[in-house]
């Protein structure tokens, strides 16, 4: 029976504990799941949320893997005491939540809903929006979340371009680009731009002044990915000039977003409080249980982090 430490904030324990046991039993596994331990050397796996306070993995000498409850691992992977395999969270609930958020805000921009709501002044504005097939949407990032969002948008009829750092296989509904030249081509066509890249050294300030200038004038931006993807000063300048018509931002360099941050009061910014996609205990437990099953069976773990890339 593997020993599993649930290293997360105390309030998460009652939310996850029954679902983790259920998901493991469904796979024929019985686990000894504990919220704390006086014997770290006896632990085989750690279900991990950094907010639980565990930072030193050195005492866990028998540890086989750390199974993150977070999709983003930029705050976990660099830990020098973490030398065992690290698996990030990929699960249906997280993916579907992100898909819904992105599709909703793309449609909000496409239909110009904000302007329609703001025009309740007795003035009749009969001009219809274009059809989705006449609108280009770019999704930067073609991992599980980016691909799900791109496919959903293509299903609604949008012309979708998906960009990734390295080449991806052809997709029947998504035009794919990669690399530096591909990024420039993608941005030049992005009437609506969705950012779903991980936070790495290579992606920090990816959307800087020079790349914002490549966008069609009046483009809209949706960032539910990582706050570090955008040069905040450059974005504010682009919003002020009209190069970017509006930005919907769900993630920030500092969270919660400080009360005096200019994003709060900028008329062309919508702030949402990191709600685009949440880890749900029911679905996340399936991913955790499957990796424990694989670990016990000697099979490769799913969603392993490449430390050299940071995701």
**Per the residue annotation, which of 274, 280, 294, 307 is the catalytic one?**
274
List Cα–Cα distances, 284 to 47, 178, 210, 309, in angstroms.
11, 30, 39, 24
- Could you say which of 19, 88, 99, 226 is catalytic? 226
Does the annotation mark 274 as catalytic? Answer: yes
Rounded Cα–Cα distance for residues 136 and 265 (Å): 29
The residues assigned a catalytic role are 226, 274
């Amino acid at each position: 029976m593997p020993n599993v430490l649930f290293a997360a904030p105390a309030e998460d324990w009652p939310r996850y504990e029954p679902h983790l046991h259920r998901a493991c039993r469904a796979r024929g596994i019985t686990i000894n799941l504990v919220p704390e331990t006086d014997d770290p050397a006896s632990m085989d796996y750690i279900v991990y949320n950094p907010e639980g306070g565990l930072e030193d993995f050195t005492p866990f000498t028998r540890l086989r893997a750390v199974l993150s409850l977070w999709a983003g691992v930029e705050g976990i992977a660099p830990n020098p005491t973490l030398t065992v395999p690290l698996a990030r969270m990929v699960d249906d609930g997280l993916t579907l939540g992100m898909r819904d958020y992105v599709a909703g805000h793309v449609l909000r921009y496409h239909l110009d809903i904000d302007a329609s709501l703001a025009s309740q002044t007795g003035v009749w504005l009969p001009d219809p929006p274009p059809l989705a097939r006449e609108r280009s949407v770019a999704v930067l990032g073609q991992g599980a979340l980016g691909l799900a969002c791109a496919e959903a948008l293509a299903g609604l009829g949008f012309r979708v371009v998906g960009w990734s750092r390295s080449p991806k296989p052809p997709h029947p509904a998504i035009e794919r680009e990669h690399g530096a030249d591909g990024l420039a081509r993608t941005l030049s066509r992005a009437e609506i731009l969705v950012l779903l890249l991980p936070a790495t050294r290579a992606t920090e300030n990816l959307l800087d002044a020079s790349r914002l200038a490549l966008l069609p004038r009046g483009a809209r931006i949706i960032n539910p990915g990582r706050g570090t993807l955008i040069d905040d000063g450059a974005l504010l300048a682009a919003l002020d000039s009209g190069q970017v018509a509006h930005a919907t931002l769900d993630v920030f360099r500092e969270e919660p977003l400080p009360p005096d941050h200019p994003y709060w009061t900028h008329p062309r910014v919508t702030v949402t409080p990191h709600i685009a996609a949440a880890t749900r205990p029911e679905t996340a437990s399936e991913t955790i249980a499957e990796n424990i099953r694989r670990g016990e069976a000697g099979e490769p773990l799913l969603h392993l982090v490449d430390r050299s890339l940071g995701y």
